[in-house]
Chains A and B, each alone.
Chain A
């Protein structure tokens, strides 16, 4: 019989519990529950839970279920069963269940579960049951009842709770006091206020805290006078400052804008809790009048409190204190002035512009920064027009400030005015105007900006060129800008202007300018040739490389030669060439170099490469006494990038640098790399990565079992690329997939490596992964852990046998949420 019942249950639950048919009845499930112990009867529990949910729309089922659950509580079923029944009743119980629940109220274990249900039954009978049990209960159950009486605000509990206030059990006494506060009736207030006045109460903050709760309740019930008296009693009591501060908050809630004297008193207090609460009140109180009243006393406060109050007034955003804050910008205290200037950014308007500009033009760093930030933050549709309008007629220091403000305000409409400002004779105004134009000018301003080159002092033409390049880049109008400059080349009246135009063409880097620049290399003027070399040195691709090499080889001017070679090196450094191509170019540059300075320049860019060949080129110069420092440094920089895969090959060279007569910092760097090489000894560091792989609707856990390209047909369609490693010196062996694959979650990736092993040998793989992993060795799955977890090394292990020669290890790493990564190390027996 029991066997058949179990079969029925399983059958039903297999088609989703209770959703279609009831092969098990509630009675049968309840019978099963009678003997339930934690860890058993999952199917029955699921069925009953489902029944409780379904019964929301099925009164007959609800009745049946509730009867059964009550039966469990009435029975001698174990706690485990009764707890389960109580959990369902928390959702379904009615006032009918109060008697059966009340029987458990005094029980040490079940007392809580009874309250767990009773708390949800909205009936005065609950209060009666609690009061009845209060006398009989002891210990934790009694305290639980006291707490619930308080939470239910049971007026009838005041008298029995009052008796407990004097209990020698301090926990019970404190619980009773708290409960009285929560009940918050007038009799409760009377008891609490009297105790507060007499000082007849347990130690600590329990009583004043309960008084506050009681006053809060009275206020909720609109008994404002009584609430105010209680708050005031606490505020004036010898309680700790944070309690008195809470009373101040209550006084403000009940008195509104009449609470000014209390706030005033608190602002002038030396207790940080009190003046802290006062500024919080000023910040958050809805009445603007209260804020205005408090702002009026601002000048009477200590500077540190002034700062707090100014910040509070600023956060209100209602301009309650705008005029006072403008006035106090003249305070003797720098901190107060800065706070006031910052506040104006939030609550200021057009009327604050002049004041802010004035302070922003001063020499004091903090003040200038605060004023400038506020100018940038001022809100209002008329701020930008006002700034633009006053720009031409302002003094030069003001003009510089206005240009900066317009830039920070992203005032693109001010660009024409800024072009005019850039014609100013004052270098600081011109510099600020050009800086602003870089971000604000549109293509419409380009012709007039090119014209600036013919206006500004020769030494500032490069600033114009820089701004033009930025505008062209931002608006993607390199061609238009280049054409405009080319059309005006013949308007140049002196070499300085021609130089500026050529330099700007270099900055723009458009092909249209190449013939002009090449031609300029042969100009009669040395100055023009110099400019052409500089412009070509800045070219965005390798097209100008050959031109520069020709200069290096042909020019008789040593300055031009140095410049061209340096430009060539820079150009190759920035060009999108392959590493071998770059290395070839650097070898060529090294051969053409006449001076050590030029060779050092080559070494500086060589360090950006990440191949053993580049490393060897750097090492080849280590024995040159005048280049050894730079060579060692370049070698170390390259080594840092390749040691994870080339550790064995570069170790001897690193040891050589560590012993060499080079800078201490370089030697330390070499020693650190040697330590890193040692650290990664047992970790597999040389990996390829494939992925990420996702599938719509599948999370990381489902993806774990979905094969993607690397798992299918021996991975013939999978695309692999090198996995960056060793980027974090603290854990160079961590394979950071999050960084490598640009973030994301609910996805998987694969890592693969070829491992050469000297002989057939059983080893242990130690795997760390965030989140889950599968690991294959030579195509055989050796570890599978579908899990969501954070990373630590060595979370999983697997014994495997590596064969002599080449072994393929592949890992699949799932990603739930950030971060995402793995590590694998090999332990030999």
Chain B
């Protein structure tokens, strides 16, 4: 008798594994592998070092001098072998903290802090940057980086207006640089699989998409209150936005239209992006945008040229695609289908396979090394964020709009076209 006899449980485990892992995931895709040699090391500068920027850079056991380290995740680019040599922020406290973290990581004092991003971009030894500033700075810094020969990982939303994003996409195409939009749901299996199900017709003909995100920002009318703190360069912080006197709450910039598209572009940059991915309109967009009117349209509604409608509604978890034969609902760590059997569907070689990435940072680094297209490049990022901006414009103008995705303007509506860009405050420009 042979000792090595399989038990039923092993049978079932093996069988279950074959059902639930449809893809081959390489170790490199998961970020494994040895530290690259110095000659192949990618050198990075980090611009914007609040919570998101610091996490993206890589928060590595900062120690007791940095508050709240026990619950801030480690990871980011430093954990993936990228060498950070410079940090930049107009907030002195953020800058000091970032330098401390980087120097502690490498055991030296070499990380150079900058207030002006132009100085960081002028360094010839820097290959890539992460841009994690406030929204209003994403486009100007990213375009400047492309012109300076850097590849860019930019947190979402990539722009404050539609035309900023368009200019950003044009610049990265023009300068042949790599750009990754920080929409990491593009590198999550559940979202990719959900979109592959939709794109391959497993829910029949797609009819409707529901996207659950927060709403547009407000107009800021805060009074003047106090002076800007001495740790902040307020003028650069304001950037392109019209000058206004300081108020402490202004630092919560995401609430205000001058600085952000609000939750529509914050979470919208993720979920509308997934919606565009699933509908297959990632290089185009909707043709009608209808704000809630209290009558026929209770919620913000988009119409695509193929008749698919999309609404912003809190009736689903994340994004829900509904077709003639079923539906797919997806969010982070959450995937439901109808019928259930779709969860076990394998996508065959002759079907549509979407960009395979299971680690958004590493996907960017692979694209940098290989000069290939990353999961969410500037073209895709532009079209996705446009959907968010167009929704905001419909909310602001309070009337239905017809959009021409090919010509990138509203149809016969020059007044609405005026909302597609804003003149930047001098000296800031792109």
The residue on A at minimum CB distance from B368 is A276
CB contacts (< 8 Å) of B346 on chain A: these are 410
Q: Is the CB of A140 within 8 A of B426?
A: yes
Give A309's nearest chain B residue, CB to CB: B371
How long is the Cα–Cα vector from A129 to B346 in the complex, in angstroms? 64
Cβ < 8 Å to B, chain A residues 133-149:
140-141, 143-144, 147-148
With A38-B222, A205-B147 already in contact, the answer to whether A249 and B174 are too (CB < 8 A) is yes
> A465 near B: Cβ within 8 Å?
yes
Contact B5–A38 (Cβ < 8 Å) = no
The answer to the question of B412 belonging to the interface, with a C-beta cut-off of 8 Å to chain A, is: no
Residues of A within 8 A of B331 (CB): 743-745, 818
A469-B350 in contact given A53-B398, A311-B372 (Cβ < 8 Å)? no
Tell me if B149 counts as interface (CB < 8 A to partner A): yes
Instruction: Kindly provide the distance from the CB of A100 to the nearest chain B CB, expressed in whole angstroms.
Output: 17
- Which residues of B have CB within 8 Å of A118? 423
A726 within 8 A of B: no
Chain A residues, Cβ within 8 Å of B223: 37-40
Quick check: B147 and A91 within 8 Å, CB to CB?
no
Q: In the complex where A376-B24, A540-B8 touch, is A734 in contact with B426 (Cβ < 8 A)? A: no
A469 to B149, CA, bound (A): 57
Enumerate chain B residues within 8 angstroms of A730, measured Cβ to Cβ. Answer: 70-71
A350 within 8 Å of B (CB atoms): no
A470 touches B175 (CB 8 A): no
Given contacts A116-B422, A315-B372, contact A147 B12 (CB under 8 A): no
Q: Which of A90, A148, A439, A534 contacts B18 (CB 8 A)?
A: A439
Contact of B7 among A38, A473, A534 (CB under 8 A): A534
Q: Is A744 a contact partner of B334 (Cβ separation < 8 A)?
A: yes
Q: A42 at interface (Cβ–Cβ under 8 A)?
A: yes
Known contacts A91-B415, A205-B148, A744-B331: A697-B314 contact under CB 8 Å: yes
Of B196-204, B226-234, B241-249, the one with at least 4 CB within 8 A of chain A: B241-249
Cα(A499)–Cα(B14), bound, Å: 21
**Is residue A742 contacting chain B, with contact meaning CB distance below 8 A?**
yes
Task: State whether the Cβ of A518 lies closer than 8 Å to any Cβ in chain B.
Answer: no
Task: Let me know if A119 is at the binding interface, CB within 8 A.
Answer: yes
Q: Which one of A83, A112, A535 contacts B423 once the chains associate, using CB atoms below 8 Å?
A: A112
Q: List chain A residues, Cβ under 8 A from B295.
A: none
Tell me if B219 and A49 are in contact (CB < 8 A).
yes
B429 in contact with A147 (CB, 8 Å): yes
- Cβ of B68 within 8 Å of any chain A Cβ, yes or no, is yes
CB distance from A791 to the nearest CB of B (A): 8
Query: Is the pair A792, B68 in contact by a Cβ cutoff of 8 Å?
Result: yes
Contact between chains at B14 and A280 (CB < 8 Å): no
Contacts of A38 in B (CB 8 A): 221-224, 244-245
Known pairs A53-B397, A462-B5; A308 contacts B149 (CB<8 A): no
Query: How far, in whole Å, are A734 and B71 apart by their CA atoms in the complex?
Result: 10
Chain A contacts of B176 at CB under 8 A? Answer: 245-246, 249, 276-277, 280-281
Q: Give the Cβ gap from A81 to chain B, nearest Cβ, in Å.
A: 12
Closest chain-A Cβ to B196's Cβ sits at a distance in Å of 13
Given contacts A311-B370, A698-B314, contact A141 B426 (CB under 8 A): yes
Neighbouring B residues of A148 by C-beta, 8 Å = 423
CB distance A280 to B371 under 8 Å?
yes
Asked if A624 CB lies within 8 Å of chain B CBs, one says no
Residues of A within 8 A of B68 (CB): 792-793
Partner of B14, one of A466, A537, A816: A466
Picked from B148, B245, B334, B422, the residue with its CB within 8 Å of the CB of A242 is: B148
Contacts of A816 in B (CB 8 A): 214
Could you mark each residue 804-817 of chain A with 1 if its beta carbon is under 8 Å from any beta carbon of chain B, else 0? 00000000000011
Tell whether A783 is near chain B: CB-to-CB under 8 Å.
no
Q: Could you tell me the dominant secondary structure of chain B's interface residues?
A: loop
Residue B333 interfacial (CB < 8 Å): yes
- Which residues 30-53 in A have Cβ within 8 Å of B in the complex? 37-40, 42, 45, 49, 53
Q: How many residues of A contact B (CB 8 A)?
A: 115
Residues of A within 8 A of B415 (CB): 56, 91-92
A469 contacts B222, C-beta separation under 8 Å: no
A37 CA to B213 CA, complexed, in Å:
33
Main secondary structure of the interface of A (DSSP, over half): helix
Per-position binary interface string of chain B over residues 1-28, scored 1 when its CB falls under 8 Å from any chain A CB and 0 otherwise: 1100111111110111011000010000
Pick the residue among A42, A205, A209, A312 that contacts B371 (CB under 8 A): A312
Given contacts A147-B426, A280-B371, contact A537 B243 (CB under 8 A): no
> What is the minimal beta-carbon distance from B246 to any residue of chain A, in angstroms?
10
Contacts of B148 in A (CB 8 A): 205, 242
Q: Please report which residues of chain A, range 366-398, place their CB below 8 angstroms from some CB of chain B when the two chains form the complex.
A: 373, 376-381, 383
Tell me if A704 is interfacial: C-beta within 8 Å of chain B: no
CB distance from A741 to the nearest CB of B (A): 11
Q: How far is the CA of A731 from the CA of B418 in the complex (A)?
A: 49
Q: In angstroms, how far is the closest chain B Cβ from the Cβ of A230?
A: 15
Asked if A470 and B8 make an inter-chain contact with CB atoms under 8 angstroms apart, the answer reads: no
Q: Using known A-B contacts A56-B397, A140-B426, A731-B71, determine if residue A438 contacts B18 with beta carbons closer than 8 Å.
A: yes
B347-375 vs A, Cβ < 8 Å mask (1 yes, 0 no) = 01110010000000000000000111100
Contacts A38-B222, A408-B24, A743-B317 given: A83-B147 contact, CB under 8 Å?
A: no
A113 (CB) vs chain B CBs: closest residue: B242
Query: Is the CB of B64 closer than 8 A to any CB of chain A?
Result: no
Proximity string of chain A (535-546) to chain B, C-beta cutoff 8 Å, 1 when within and 0 when not: 101111000000
* Chain A residues, Cβ within 8 Å of B70: 730-731
Contact A538 B221 (CB under 8 A): no
* A68 in contact (CB, < 8 A): no
Q: In whole angstroms, how far apart are the Cα atoms of A379 and B332 in the complex?
A: 31
**Besides A83-B242, A699-B214, 20 other A-B contacts (C-beta < 8 A):** A37-B223, A39-B247, A42-B221, A115-B426, A116-B422, A148-B423, A216-B174, A273-B149, A283-B373, A311-B372, A380-B350, A410-B346, A466-B10, A469-B15, A534-B5, A570-B9, A697-B315, A743-B334, A745-B317, A817-B267
What are 24 A-B interface contacts by the 8 Å CB criterion?
A37-B224, A40-B221, A53-B397, A111-B426, A143-B426, A148-B423, A240-B149, A245-B175, A246-B175, A246-B176, A276-B176, A284-B173, A307-B370, A376-B349, A408-B24, A409-B349, A438-B15, A534-B7, A699-B214, A731-B71, A734-B71, A746-B212, A791-B71, A792-B71
Sorted nearest first, the 8 A-B pairs with minimum C-beta distance are: A39-B223, A242-B149, A144-B426, A538-B8, A470-B15, A469-B11, A743-B334, A119-B423
